[in-house]
Chains A and B, each alone.
Chain A
Amino acid sequence: MPACEPPRFEGLVGWRIIADPSALDAAPWPAGSHVVRISPDDAFVIGAAEPGVPGDEHAIVTPELGFAGAAVSAEQVADIALHHIEWQMPTGPCVAQGQIAGVPSKLVLHADGSALLLVACAARHELEDRLG
Chain B
Amino acid sequence: MSRVVYDGTPIEYEPGDSLAIAALRAGQHPARGGTLCLAGDCGNCSAIVDGTPWVRTCQTEARPGAMVQRHPNGSHPSPGGPEHHTQVTVRHRSADHVVIGNGDSGAAAAAALRSEGHDVLVLDEADGDEVVGVFDGPSIIVRRNDGIEHFHVHHITLATGAAEVHPVCPGNLLAGIFTPKAAAKVQAAGLDLGNVVTVGAELKAFHGEGRVSEVELVDGSRVSCDNVIVNLGSAPRDVLARMAPLVPVQIVGPAAEAHALPAAPQEGVLCPCGKITVEDLDGVWNKGFHDLELVKRSSLCGTGTCQGAVCMPHLRSFVADRSGVEPKPFTARPAARQVSMAEAAAGYHIDTFRRTPLHGEHTKLGATLDKFGGWFRPWNYGDAVSEYWAVREGVSLGDVSTLGKMMVSGPDVVEALERLYPNHVHDIKVGRSRYVINLNERGHVLDDGMICREGDTRFLLTFTSGGASTAEMWVRDWVETWGLKVHVLDRTVSHGAINVTGPLAGELLRRAGVSDDDRPKFLQHRHIDVAGIPCHVMRLSFTGEASFELHHQIDQSVELWQALMELGAPLGIKPHGLQALFGLRLEKGHVIVGQDTELDSTPRRINMDWAVKLEKDAFVGRDALIRTASLPDERRLFGFTMDGPAPLEGSVIRVNGDVVGHVTSSWDSPMYGHAVLMGWQKRLPHADVVEIDGREARVSAVPFYDKEGARARM
Contact = CB atoms under 8 A, between A and B. Distances in A.
7 contacts: A58-B487, A59-B409, A83-B90, A86-B150, A101-B349, A102-B348, A122-B356
Contacts of B410: 58
A13 B556 CA distance: 12
**7 tightest CB-CB pairs across the interface, nearest first?**
A66-B494, A102-B349, A122-B354, A18-B487, A122-B493, A120-B493, A65-B553
Interface in A47-67: 58-60, 62-66
Given A82-B91, A88-B94, A60 B354 contact: no
Contact of A86 (B92, B353, B488, B555): B92
A31 to B, nearest CB: 25
Interface in B90-123: 90-94
Given A82-B93, A126-B354, 15 more contacts: A1-B89, A58-B458, A58-B487, A59-B487, A60-B489, A63-B553, A65-B494, A65-B554, A65-B555, A66-B493, A83-B92, A103-B352, A122-B356, A122-B357, A122-B493
B674 interface: no
Interface residues of B, number: 37
A121 interface: yes
A4 to B, nearest CB: 14
Contacts of B94: 88
Nearest to B410: A58
A111 interface: no
A1 B347 CA distance: 12
A11 B354 CA distance: 16
Contact of A88 (B152, B349, B375, B494): B152
B347 A86 contact: yes
Given A16-B489, A64-B494, A83-B91, A102 B457 contact: no
B553 A126 contact: no
B407 interface: yes
B489 A62 contact: yes
A126 B409 contact: no
A62 B349 contact: no
Contacts of A125: 355
A62 B94 CA distance: 40
B352 A18 contact: no
Contacts of A86: 92, 150, 347
B411 interface: yes
A58 B349 CA distance: 39
A94 interface: no
A34 interface: no
A71 interface: no
A65 B411 CA distance: 27
B553 A81 contact: no
Interface in A77-116: 81-86, 88, 101-104
Interface of A: 1, 11, 13, 16, 18-19, 41-42, 58-60, 62-66, 81-86, 88, 101-104, 120-123, 125-126, 130
Contact of A85 (B92, B353, B485, B489): B92
B369 to A, nearest CB: 13
A11 B489 contact: no
Contacts of B409: 18, 58-60
Contacts of A82: 91-93
Contact of A120 (B347, B354, B487, B555): B354
Contacts of B89: 1, 83
A119 B238 CA distance: 44
Contacts of A121: 357, 493, 554
A88 B92 CA distance: 9
Contact of A58 (B93, B411, B554): B411
Nearest to A122: B354
Contacts of A126: 349, 352-354
Contacts of B375: 122
B349 A130 contact: yes
Interface in B406-425: 407, 409-411, 413
A41 B487 contact: yes
B487 A19 contact: yes
B631 to A, nearest CB: 42
Contacts of A101: 349
A121 B146 CA distance: 34
A18 B553 contact: no
A51 B348 CA distance: 39
Nearest to B354: A122
A18 B347 contact: no
A123 B92 contact: no
A125 B375 CA distance: 12
A84 B347 contact: yes
Contacts of B494: 16, 64-66
Nearest to A64: B494
B268 to A, nearest CB: 47
Contacts of A58: 409-411, 413, 457-458, 485, 487
A86 B489 CA distance: 28
A18 B489 CA distance: 7
A126 B375 CA distance: 12
Nearest to B94: A88
B495 to A, nearest CB: 8
Tell me which of A59, A122, A126 has the highest count of chain B C-beta atoms within 10 A of its own C-beta: A122
A20 to B, nearest CB: 8
B554 A66 contact: yes
A126 B353 CA distance: 7
Contacts of A85: 92
Nearest to A12: B555
A88 B89 CA distance: 18
A13 B353 CA distance: 23
A14 B534 CA distance: 16
Contacts of A83: 89-92, 347
A129 B357 CA distance: 17
A99 B357 CA distance: 22
Nearest to A56: B487
Interface in B540-573: 553-555
A84 B353 CA distance: 18
Contacts of A120: 354, 493
A103 to B, nearest CB: 5
A62 B347 CA distance: 36
Contacts of B485: 58
Interface string B475-495: 000000000010111010111
B360 to A, nearest CB: 10
Contact of A18 (B488, B495, B555): B488
Contacts of B357: 121-122
A88 B93 CA distance: 8
A63 B348 CA distance: 34
A122 B355 contact: yes
A102 B352 contact: yes
A82 B89 CA distance: 10
Contacts of A102: 348-350, 352
B653 to A, nearest CB: 39
Given A63-B553, A66-B494, A82-B92, A104 B487 contact: no
B353 to A, nearest CB: 7
B456 to A, nearest CB: 10
Contacts of B555: 11, 13, 65
